[in-house]
Amino acid sequence: MHQEPGRGYVLGVDAGGTSSRALLTAADGTVLGTGRSGGANPNSHPPAEAAAHIVEALAAALDAHNPGRVRACVVGLAGASKLTDPAVAELFGKAWAGLGLGCEVRVVSDAEAAFASATSAADGTVLVAGTGSIAGRIRQRRRIATAGGYGWLLGDEGSGFWIGREAVRSALATLTADREEPGPLARAVLTEALGAHEAHGTGLRTAHRLITTVNGQPPVRLARFAPLVSALADTDEAAGTIVGEAAAHLVRIALASRDAGERTPVVLVGSVLGEGSPVGARVREQLAGVDVLASSDGVAGANWLAAVEAFGEQAPRPLSG
Amino acid sequence: MHQEPGRGYVLGVDAGGTSSRALLTAADGTVLGTGRSGGANPNSHPPAEAAAHIVEALAAALDAHNPGRVRACVVGLAGASKLTDPAVAELFGKAWAGLGLGCEVRVVSDAEAAFASATSAADGTVLVAGTGSIAGRIRQRRRIATAGGYGWLLGDEGSGFWIGREAVRSALATLTADREEPGPLARAVLTEALGAHEAHGTGLRTAHRLITTVNGQPPVRLARFAPLVSALADTDEAAGTIVGEAAAHLVRIALASRDAGERTPVVLVGSVLGEGSPVGARVREQLAGVDVLASSDGVAGANWLAAVEAFGEQAPRPLSG
């Protein structure tokens, strides 16, 4: 281990809906420990459980290292706005007080951690499209305004939920129109929703089963149809259209978060915008001339935000390996 | 009473989500009895309770009249497609078997009863916009195809749910745009959602409270914002735009249920298309040249469908008073 005991450690956490990951580094970026636990979004988990998962990941990353020597700790939290509720904030505060860290814990949004994971720039735009969608205006590494992000009921255009819903609507339009033969996307939707034996179903009875099945499940489960759209973007006309519309919606909220002619980077986050995704490719096309980056790993971003806090702008990024 | 004992009676029921109403008439249309009970949509009520409500309304309309002399009985049922489930159909069948009617009970959709309430034509279009929206192609007084009607999660464009959601989205767009002052519609939405003291709220904190409030309630509650849009259609630009888009969606599904150049009547049903509603006015404008009628009363339509079954096409409509 190459720790520099004279300068102390920094800790970062990426706390999302399905897992929490922590990363402890020395001042030179050397990785001293990592930790992992369950999901910690306080909107989808009981806040006490969410806080306990973060503490568990932090404790695992610290292992035998002296917590009192941690100089800065940043938690990038999905659902961070929940901590505007004083009761929830107090519960989180008490949970990590037990760790004996040598610093306060600073909570930032998962979008801020994602932005910092991709670039050392202080200003720019973060564009998130997973199950939901939201764009953020980043200034001095803080998200000072958002566009979109109303949640699936009121918006989230271009998100996995939205793409999945459009896929089902497209299949229904085909099934309820007398003259059309279901195409590859409609067949894929029917297979996913009703099983392979229904893949070639046609007509109103099949449409009715699809409607009933989808309406009988939690709305966000519609996001499971989104990968079908990505997979068929080049071969099914309806899928290609949905991809184009999703990209247009996402570009619209990204631009709403930017000044006219702004030249800062745009950081893409989330499965809909991931490596090789057709929506991501269209977004990059439409943002030609802008530096479009992929978020690498939120925990590295949170760790680096802690390092900047402790050691300044020139703090090294965590070294891999 | 002017009953004609030699020809028997006919019974109609309009069974909706909030109430069930029954109407007993003689062959000449004379009203012999009416009955009322609770909601009977088997999608929103337990089927046993729904069936019991229909039976209660029927029994009240029959009162002391001999049920064995009923020649035809038609129930116009919201959620009638639920009776394709054999268990539900059996439960309904057993419930009204106990009445001792002199005929089978025929269940039709509430849309078919509404169409028959407005016109004696056998063919046409029924366009429904209440909390949800759906258009139906009517041939020989049966709805043989539909357009729209996927439910709020997948569609229902132009419905009260959809209009209410657009109203909230419009308010959010105003609140999250720096430069705009909330207009009358945004203020009305804030008052309805958050209370009069929030009517002049601005900015992201108000937007966040609106999002949280709406997302914390059942989705169909969004329909409560629809009357605000109707009320402000002439004075608020955003409300006028929503009304125009709703009408365009409804005309689209109505036309999807009609042949090119079809000259049959279109019957409008539901609160969004009711007397004096701006959406209804726009729909009538866009369907210029077509005979556009208002559904009067579903129970009269169901009763008349029963009369046609018993006495033929020339059966009189129920006489009022």
Mean pLDDT for the stretch of residues A181-187? 91
- pLDDT class for A205, splitting at 50, 70, 90? confident
> Per-residue pLDDT tens for A46-78?
999 999 999 999 999 999 999 999 999 999 998
Residue of B nearest to A43 (CA): B212
In the predicted model, what is the mean pLDDT of chain A? 92
Chain B contact for A151 (CB, 8 A cutoff): yes
Distance CA B302, CA B313 (A): 14
When pLDDT is cut at 50, 70 and 90, the band that residue B179 belongs to is low
Question: What is the band of B2 on the pLDDT scale with cuts at 50, 70, 90?
Answer: very low
B17: amino acid identity, one letter:
G
pLDDT above 60 for A2: no
Residue B30 lies inside a defined structural domain of this protein: yes
Nearest CA in chain A to B257: A177
Q: Does A283 fall in a domain? A: no
Local structure of B125: helix, strand or coil:
strand
B34-44 pLDDT, tens digit per residue, is: 999 999 999 88
Q: How would you classify residue A269: left for phi > 0, otherwise alpha for psi between -120 and 50, otherwise beta?
A: beta
Interface test with A, best of B150, B165, B220, B222 (most A CBs within 10 A): B150
With CA atoms as reference, report the closest residue to B230 among B268, B171, B279, B161. B279
Q: Are residues B126 and B251 in the same domain?
A: yes
Of A154, A176, A211, the CB nearest to B151: A211
Interatomic CA distance for residues A312 and B278, integer angstroms? 61
- The tens digit of pLDDT for each residue in B265-285 reads 999 999 999 888 999 999 999
Whole domain around residue B233: which residue ranges?
Answer: 122-264
DSSP B60-80: HHHTTS-GGGEEEEEEEETTG
CATH code, domain with B258: 3.30.420.40
Residues B31 and B111 placed together within one structural domain of the fold? yes
Asked if the structure places residue A286 within a domain, the reply is: no
What is the tally of structural domains in chain A? 2
Indicate whether A37 belongs to any domain. yes
Residues facing A73 on adjacent strands? A11, A105
CB-based contacts of B296: which residues, under 8 Å, 6+ apart? B117, B118
- Which residue in B150, B172, B214 is closest to A211 by CB distance? B150
Q: Which residue has the tokens 């009473």?
A: B1
Percent of chain A surpassing pLDDT 90: 76
Residue of A150, A168, A176 lying closest to B172 (CB–CB): A150
What pLDDT band is residue A1 in, cutting at 50, 70 and 90? very low
Residues of B in contact with A151 (CB under 8 A): 211, 215
Average pLDDT over residues B86-96: 93
* Average pLDDT estimate for B248-271: 95
Contact A229, A166 (CB under 8 A): yes
Same domain, residue pair B67 and B144: no
Average pLDDT along chain B:
92
Identify the band that residue A166 occupies on the pLDDT scale cut at 50, 70 and 90: very high
Q: Minimal Cα distance from B212: which residue of A?
A: A150
Strand order in the sheet with A31-38: A31-38, A19-26, A9-15, A70-77, A105-109
Residues B13 and B101 in one domain: yes
Same domain, A156 and A145: yes
Instruction: Return the pLDDT at B47.
Output: 92
pLDDT at residue B155, as a whole number = 85
Q: What is the pLDDT of residues A270-321, one digit of tens each?
A: 999 988 899 999 999 999 999 999 997 899 999 999 999 999 999 999 987 5
Domain membership of residue A289 (yes or no) is: no
Helix axes A278-286, A237-256, angle to 10 degrees: 50
Distance from the B232 Cα atom to the nearest Cα atom in chain A, whole angstroms: 21
Q: Strands across the sheet with B19-26, in order? A: B31-38, B19-26, B9-15, B70-77, B105-109
What pLDDT shows up at residue A178? Answer: 62
Give a yes or no: residue A152 inside a domain. yes
Percent of chain A with pLDDT over 70: 97
Query: Is residue B94 located within the same domain as residue B61?
Result: yes
Q: Are residues A23 and A107 in the same domain?
A: yes
The predicted pLDDT at position B308 comes to 96
Closest CA to B74 of B118, B30, B117, B123: B117
Statement to judge: residues B134 and B234 lie in one domain:
yes
Q: Give a yes or no: residue B63 inside a domain.
A: yes
Q: Identify which of B81, B168, B204 has the shortest CB distance to residue A154.
A: B168
A291 touches chain B (CB under 8 A): no
Same domain, A65 and A142: no
CA B46-B52-B53 angle, 5° bins = 90
What percent of chain B has pLDDT above 90? Answer: 76
**DSSP reduced 3-state for B49:** helix
A2 within some domain: no
Q: Do A101 and A133 have their domain in common?
A: no
What pLDDT, in 10s, does the model give residues B92-144?
999 999 999 999 999 999 999 999 999 999 999 999 998 889 999 999 999 98
Q: Are residues A132 and A41 in the same domain?
A: no
Contact B315, B26 (CB under 8 A): no
Residue B6: what pLDDT? 62
Residues 213..272 of B with a Cβ closer than 8 Å to A: which? 214-215, 219, 222
What's the length of chain B? 321
For B149-176, write each residue's pLDDT tens digit. Answer: 888 999 899 999 999 999 999 999 888 8
Q: Looking at the structure, tell me whether residues B237 and B126 fall in a common domain.
A: yes
pLDDT tens by residue, A225-261: 999 999 999 999 999 999 999 999 999 999 999 999 9
Q: Read off φ and ψ for residue B175, nearest 5 degrees.
A: -65, -35
